[in-house]
Amino acid sequence: MNTIYGQITDIQLEKYKKIMHKDLFWLLLYKDPKTKNQYPNVDFNKYFIGIMKKLNGLNELLYFPTQMVDMMSLLQAAYQETNSETFDYSLYRKLILDAHALIDKIGD
C-alpha cells in the first residue's frame, strides 16, 4: 500500500489493524459498568483522545481513506456519549463496535 512516505506491506497493515482492534477493545472495558472499576489509574479521556490522534495520523498517512471518516465519526459520537448526562453504555458499545468493524476495511 502506498503512503505519503512510501510503501507499507500488506502484512504490516494487517498487524497494525490487530493493534487498532485491541486499542478499541480497551475503550469498551474502560467504560463497561462490570469492568470499569478494575482500571482506576487509567485516564480515559487521555486514552480516547490519544486513539483519535493516532487515527488522524493514520488517516493522513494513508491518503485519507473514506473508511476513516466513518470510523472516526462513530468514535467521536461514542466519546460524546461518555460525556452525556444520560450516558448509555449500550449505545456507546454499539458505536465502538461499529467503528471496530470498519478497521478491517481500511486499505480495501
Query: What span, in angstroms and rounded, lies between the C-alpha atoms of 10 and 58?
Result: 15
Query: What span, in angstroms and rounded, lies between the C-alpha atoms of 59 and 66?
Result: 9
pLDDT band of 82, cuts 50, 70, 90:
very high
35-53 pLDDT tens trace: 999 999 999 999 999 999 9
Q: Does position 108 have pLDDT exceeding 90, yes or no?
A: no
pTM given for the model:
0.90
9-27 pLDDT tens trace: 989 999 999 999 999 999 9
Cell match 480515559: residue? Answer: 44
Query: What span, in angstroms and rounded, lies between the C-alpha atoms of 98 and 78?
Result: 10
pLDDT of residue 63: 86
Query: What span, in angstroms and rounded, lies between the C-alpha atoms of 25 and 7?
Result: 28
For 56-65, letters b (16+ CB in 10 Å) and e give eebbeebeeb
